[in-house]
Structure 1
Amino acid sequence: MVDTDSIQDLFISFKAAFDVTKGLVELNRDDKIQHAVAELNSALMDAQGKAIAAYTAQAAFAEKVEKLEAELSRLKEWSGEKERYELQSRSPISPGAIAYRIREELRGNEPVHWLCPTCFQDNVKSILQESGGATRTKTANCPRCNTTLEFRE
């Protein structure tokens, strides 16, 4: 929002320039005219500086509004997306480990997958990537934050 004091200062500067110009009409001596012209130039430069400052403030405000609108849009989209998941203990996951699983009734053609609980709390969808070896223990790693969950087959 443009600062009302800046706008008021701008109008005061323009009024001062107008008053100087009005005074020019009433002058009849060259030295008074030169002095009045100098005052007019000073008042116009002051008004121009205040106009630039007001424009700069308005541009910064517009940029901030645009960023906030983008963030609001992203959060609204995430709000709908996160409703598709439920917090579960992965069975047979290591004791105390939890992750977000896509709800069966909302997954459509997507494969069953799990989201990283850390990233989920940061409003980010990050699918856990499973890896395993010859043992019966496997791990699920988050490619974003490197959270690792262990589970048994």
Structure 2
Amino acid sequence: MDFSLISGLVGSLKATYDLGSAAVGVRDANKLTEAVAEMNHKLLDAQQRLFAISSEAWALQQQLIDTQKENLELKATLEERGRYVLVELAKGNFALRSKVKPTDASEPVDAEPEHYLCQPCFHKGVKVVLGLEGGQYSPYIQRCAVCKHGIEVAPAPLQFPSPSRDYSPF
């Protein structure tokens, strides 16, 4: 047997093996490239979903902040309305009177005097103290400076002119 033929055959087989290994390596590299491309695609998809979830979470957080702010405003309004009681100053005419707190000797006296608020304005969100108008010959009226709503609280006092010193019926 000729060793040169065997060594040529072995060399050919080795070259074929090397080509086969290279082909497998190329095939594996192609598979690896495909796998990396698919992984990148999935990562990009996950990142887009994460952005969508993040923006939705931000919108929900803003909604929560707005709702909490509205809740605080409603609580403040409710507390403010709790400081007043609806009273009928004259038949069919209503106003809101400040609640008088009972005073104990241990507590300091509240400096806020008793007053009346215009009921129509108060329910529109405007707090207007009714002012007293009237005088010597006209009725006493509690009047709102904003909507001009007036409530007659006392009739005009009956006053007679005092006679002058120079007046003499005789």
Aligned to 2:7: none
Higher normalized contact order (CA 8 Å, seq sep 6+, divided by chain length): 1
SS in 2 for 1:128: coil
Residue 131 of structure 1 and its aligned partner are, at CA, apart by 7.8
Residue 53 of structure 1 and its aligned partner are, at CA, apart by 0.9
Of stretches 53-62 and 68-77 in structure 1, the one that deviates more from structure 2 is 68-77
CA RMSD of aligned residues (A): 3.3
The structure with the larger Rg is 2
State percent identity of aligned pairs. Answer: 25
Of stretches 104-113 and 58-67 in structure 1, the one that deviates more from structure 2 is 104-113
Does the alignment pair 1:99 with 2:95?
yes
Residue 52 of structure 1 and its aligned partner are, at CA, apart by 0.8
Cα separation, partners in 2 of 1:103 and 1:131, compared to 1, 3 Å: closer
Aligned to 2:111: 109
Structure number with higher helix proportion: 1
TM-score normalised by length of structure 1: 0.58
Runs of 5+ consecutive residues of structure 1 not aligned to the other structure:
1-26
SS in 2 for 1:41: helix
Does the alignment pair 1:130 with 2:126?
no
Q: Which runs of 4+ in 1 moved over 6 A?
A: none
Alignment deviations for residues 77-101 of structure 1 (CA, whole Å, 9 cap, x no partner): 333332221101235xxx5331211
**Inter-partner Cα distance in structure 1 for 2:134 and 2:33:** 91
Runs of 5+ consecutive residues of structure 2 not aligned to the other structure:
1-25, 103-108, 155-170
Residue 32 of structure 1 and its aligned partner are, at CA, apart by 2.9
Alignment deviations for residues 19-54 of structure 1 (CA, whole Å, 9 cap, x no partner): xxxxxxxx9533333333322222111111110111
How many equivalent pairs are there? 119
SS in 1 for 2:128: coil
Does the alignment pair 1:151 with 2:151?
yes
